[in-house]
Amino acid sequence: MDRTSEEHALNIDPFIQIRLLDLQKVDSELDRNAHRARTLPEAVTAASLHAEVMALDDEIAGAEAALFDLRREQNRADADVELVRQRVSKDQHLLDSGSINDPKQLENLQHELGSLARRQADLEDVEIEIMERVEIAEHELAALVTRRDGLAVDSAAANEARDVAADALGVERAELTNERALMAGEVPADLLKFYEKLRADHDGVAAAALHRGRCEGCHMELTAVDINRIREAPSHELLRCEECRRILIRTAESGL
Ligand SMILES: [Zn+2]
């Protein structure tokens, strides 16, 4: 097992070497815990439902504004019809009173009543058309509100599921963190520092077991030469995998 001149073999108590492997297990579990916390499916569902509710809120606001405008239009149409009705009533009253004797004046009045009747019919058509549009808009708004309210219930449930899942991960994280602190306390500070640096450089895995002639860090089979070298190495020598440079720990399962 060749070693560059600046890397000297570290002498570490075999018990501490095994401790390093335990520490690695806990650190890997902590990494998985953090990854799960970042990628919680419950959080994805909750976020997507929340976005749907927000989008529906916007749609509802738009539908309410449109309905408000339509109702204003409806009020105007009602007022227009009412004005014509009053005018008709006034003219009709004048006609019925018999106070107009001039034939020309009578003819004008009857002519005006005819125009007013046509105008009233037109305005009433407009009034009915707006009324129908108001009804459709009210129906659409009610449907949107029903859909939003249903989704809001789903969204609240999804938020709760997300919080429960996150809490469970938090409990696990707290336990692992305690466990890690105890293990790290048993590892000499220099070695711990070296381990942390290796972990940062090697995707979170600094220490790997030698398992049946294979490095569990990079999963490469060690050469016969390396295996022989390891067999001869003193148990306190901290070994490194020639392939991935991780700390290689001998266990009863190493196949030596
Ligand atoms: Zn390796």
Q: What pLDDT digit, counting tens, does each position of 159-178 carry?
A: 999 999 999 999 999 999 99
**Distance of CA 194 from the midpoint of ligand 1 (Å):** 16
- Is it the case that residue 253 has pLDDT exceeding 90? yes
For the chain, the average pLDDT equals 95
Q: Are residues 69 and 162 in the same domain?
A: yes
Please give the distance, rounded to the nearest whole angstrom, from the Cα atom of residue 242 to the centre of ligand 1. 7
Tell me what percent of the residues of the chain surpass a pLDDT of 90. Answer: 94
Q: State the residue range of the domain holding 61.
A: 41-171
Residue 241 gets the label, from left (phi > 0), alpha (psi -120 to 50) or beta, of: beta
Residue 2: pLDDT band with limits 50, 70, 90: very low
Residues 166 and 52 grouped into a single domain: yes
In terms of Cβ atoms closer than 10 Å to its own Cβ (0-12, 13-18, 19+), residue 248 is buried
Count of the separate structural domains present in the chain: 2
Query: Domain check: are 33 and 50 in the same one?
Result: no
| Percent of the chain's residues with pLDDT above 70 | 96
What's 69's domain CATH number? 1.20.58
Q: Ligand 1 mean position to 31 CA, how many Å? A: 19
Q: Are residues 166 and 46 in the same domain?
A: yes
Q: What ipTM did this prediction achieve?
A: 0.99
**Alpha carbon of 179 to ligand 1 centroid (Å):** 26
Ligand 1: centre distance to CA 217 (Å):
5
Could you tell me which residues come within 8 angstroms of residue 144 by beta carbon, excluding any fewer than 6 positions away? 56, 59, 60, 63
Answer yes or no: do 144 and 166 share one domain.
yes
- Whether the pLDDT of residue 3 is over 60: the answer is no
Report the separation in Å between the CA atom of 243 and the middle of ligand 1, taken as the mean of its atom positions. Answer: 5
Question: How far is ligand 1, taken at its centre, from the CA of residue 201, in Å?
Answer: 13
50 Cα–ligand 1 center, Å: 45
